[in-house]
Every structure is written in C-alpha cells, then in structure tokens.
C-alpha cells in the first residue's frame, strides 16, 4: 500500500454520480458530516476483481444512513454498480473499497434535515492490515480504556463515523505500548470487540464469540460463523466476562481489513494460534476468492 497521503494520490473516484479525478473529490470545511458526525461508511474488499459480499455491504450502508436519519439518494443497485465501476476505473483487482455518505454544507447546526446527502466511493490497493510475518504468529492486543456505548445512547448497529472516535484513541494508545490493537469492553464490562474487528475465542474445539448486541455485527464475523458451522464446529454467541479470557486456548479477530488474524496475547494473557484458527483462516481465504462459473 502506498505511503503517499490519501489526498495526494492519482486516480479516480466516484462522487455524487460522476467519476472525478481523485484529488478533486473534496468537501467544504463547514460540512455537517465533519462537525456533527452525520457520516456513515463501509469497508469492502475485492479479490480477483470481485467485491466480496457487495450486496450485504451496500444494504448495511443504506441501513446505517437510515439509523442516522438520512437517506442515501441512490438505490442499492446503483451503489453496487458504482463500486464496481470505480474498481474497474482504478484498474484494480485486489483492493479495498470505501463508500462514504454524509450530510453536506447546506445547514450548519445540530438540525440539518435539508442538507444534501453526498456519496463518494474510493478504491485503492490494500495489503495485509497487520505485519504479515507477525500476523501468522499472532498479534498482541492491549486492553482499551474506553468502552463500546450502551445501544440506548448511540446507534451501535450502524457503521457511523462518530462511533470510531474512541477506537482511534484506543488503537493509538495500544500502539504506543507496543501492541497492534486493543480489546474493548461494552458499557456493562463484557468483552465486546477490538477497535476495528470482531473477536473470537476457542476452547476445547468450541468457538465462542461475544453476542453482537452492543457493537457492529461484522459481515466478516457472520461469514466466519457460517464457515465454522460448515466445518462442524459448535459456535456459541454469548456474553463473555473478561475473567474468562484466561480459560481460552485460541483467539482470533475478524474484519474486512483484518480478514482472520490470530491473536497471541491480550494484555499479558497468552494464546497459542491453533488448528481451529488456522482452519478458519484457510477457509475464509478460499471463501473470498471469486467462484468459477460453470461452462
């Protein structure tokens, strides 16, 4: 992945129905989405020229906007076509795709019912989210200071930009301490997720993962649960207490960027990347590859 700043790159972007030069895709500083967090987005990944589970990502984008009380002025079919169009225009086959929708600059204040809703879609090369050599050994995770909010205080099932503020703070703190990421609890003190990925544990061959009742039920999470069940693993979606962490054998995280990544440590508690994690890593990478069409 290029180290060049994102606003200095060449290429093209889909912006409000048009293909525009990358460096011309701009918003005004007095944009409601910037000041009040009225912005939703998706993280999607293309493998071999096909965007994995594009329909599910687009449906979630539309639902996230609805939860933030605005409607994206394009149909799901139009958004899907735009994602594929910009991937082709960028001449990418293995890439990350970022649709983002936000309230514009028509009104500046908490109330903004009449603001124009914008949609932009970018695509760029994206290698492993974590260092490849370290990933196979298992990444090290710290404990986060901040917790995922009570669903009665924030739209926790939306992929809203504002919900990631505490994730950035937590990941920065973890990296300063030599870790790759941070484990967040929810408002009740139960195990929730990492800063940008869902988390799983394995004990005696049984897969455990926190119940997604206070955080985003990731599309990769759902995919991995399905893959585990196909393999015959028992999967328990349940409330997990922090005190239980030391009892698990394996740990891994999932996400569009993280894919399936083993975890070797959570703040001093050690895990051994094992056979269940390895199997699901392989199964996931096989699942995301474009399927050959029958002749």
Note the pLDDT of residue 126: 81
Mean pLDDT in the chain?
94
pLDDT band at 294 (very low <50, low <70, confident <90, very high): very low
Q: Which class for 58: exposed (0-12), middle (13-18), buried (19 or more C-beta within 10 A)?
A: buried
Q: Which class for 210: exposed (0-12), middle (13-18), buried (19 or more C-beta within 10 A)?
A: buried
The residues assigned a catalytic role are 159
Q: How far is CA 62 from the centre of its chain?
A: 16
Contact 183, 267 (CB under 8 A): yes
pLDDT band at 135 (very low <50, low <70, confident <90, very high): low
Give dist(CA 229, CA 78) in Å, integer.
33
The yes-or-no verdict on residue 59 having pLDDT over 80 is: yes
The string of DSSP letters for 172-222 reads: HHHHHTT-SEEEEEBTTS-EEEESSSEEEEEETTEEEEE-SSSS---HHHH
The yes-or-no verdict on residue 15 having pLDDT over 90 is: yes
In this predicted structure, which of 69-78, 134-143, 184-193 has the lowest mean pLDDT?
134-143
Give dist(CA 146, CA 264) in Å, integer.
22
Give dist(CA 227, CA 211) in Å, integer.
17
For the record, the structure tokens of 58 come out as: 């687009």
The yes-or-no verdict on residue 174 having pLDDT over 70 is: yes
pLDDT band at 295 (very low <50, low <70, confident <90, very high): very low
Q: What is the mean pLDDT of residues 58-81?
A: 98
In this predicted structure, which of 65-79, 167-181, 278-292 has the lowest mean pLDDT?
278-292
pLDDT band at 136 (very low <50, low <70, confident <90, very high): confident
* Spatial CB neighbours of 185, under 8 Å, sequence gap ≥ 6: 144, 147, 148, 191, 192, 242
* Spatial CB neighbours of 164, under 8 Å, sequence gap ≥ 6: 195, 196
Contact 175, 80 (CB under 8 A): no
Q: What is the mean pLDDT of residues 190-217?
A: 97
Question: Percentage helix, strand, coil, to 5, in the chain?
Answer: 30, 30, 40
Note the pLDDT of residue 36: 96
Structural domain spans, the chain: 6-124, 132-288
Determine which helix (DSSP H) or strand (DSSP E) holds 13, and give its type and residue range: strand 12-15
Least Cα distance to 260 among 252, 249, 268, 248 occurs for 252
* Largest CA-CA distance found in the chain, in angstroms, rounded: 57
Q: What is the mean pLDDT of residues 229-236?
A: 98
pLDDT single digits (tens) 75-130? 999 999 999 999 999 999 999 999 999 999 999 999 999 999 999 999 999 865 55
Question: Which CATH number is associated with domain 6-124?
Answer: 3.30.470.10
Architecture (CATH level 2) of domain 132-288 = Alpha-Beta Barrel (3.20)
Quote the pTM value: 0.93
Give dist(CA 271, CA 160) in Å, integer.
32
């Amino acid at each position: 992945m290029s180290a060049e700043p994102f606003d200095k790159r060449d290429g093209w972007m889909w912006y409000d129905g048009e293909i525009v030069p990358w460096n011309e895709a701009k918003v005004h500083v007095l944009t409601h989405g910037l000041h009040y967090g009225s912005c939703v987005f998706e993280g999607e990944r293309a493998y071999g020229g096909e965007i994995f589970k594009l329909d599910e990502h687009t449906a979630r984008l539309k639902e996230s906007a609805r939860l933030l009380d605005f409607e994206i002025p394009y149909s799901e079919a139009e958004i899907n076509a735009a994602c594929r169009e910009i991937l082709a225009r960028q001449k990418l086959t293995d890439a990350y795709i970022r649709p983002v929708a936000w309230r514009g600059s028509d009104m500046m204040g908490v109330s903004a019912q009449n603001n124009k809703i914008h949609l932009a879609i970018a695509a760029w090369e994206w290698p492993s989210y974590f260092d490849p050599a370290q990933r196979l050994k298992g990444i090290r995770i710290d404990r986060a200071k901040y917790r995922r909010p009570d669903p009665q205080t924030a739209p926790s099932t939306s992929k809203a930009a504002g919900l990631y503020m505490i994730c950035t703070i937590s990941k920065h703190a973890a990296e300063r301490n030599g870790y790759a990421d941070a484990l967040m609890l929810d408002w009740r003190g139960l195990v929730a997720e990492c800063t940008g990925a869902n988390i799983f544990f394995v004990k005696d061959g049984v897969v455990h993962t926190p119940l997604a009742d206070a955080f985003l039920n990731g599309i990769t999470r759902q995919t991995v649960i399905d893959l585990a069940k196909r393999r015959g693993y028992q999967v328990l979606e349940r409330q997990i207490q922090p005190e239980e962490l030391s009892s698990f054998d394996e740990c891994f995280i999932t996400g569009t960027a993280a894919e399936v990544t083993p975890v070797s440590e959570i703040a001093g508690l050690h895990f051994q990347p094992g056979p269940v994690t390895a199997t699901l890593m392989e199964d996931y990478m096989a699942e995301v590859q474009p399927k050959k069409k029958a002749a």
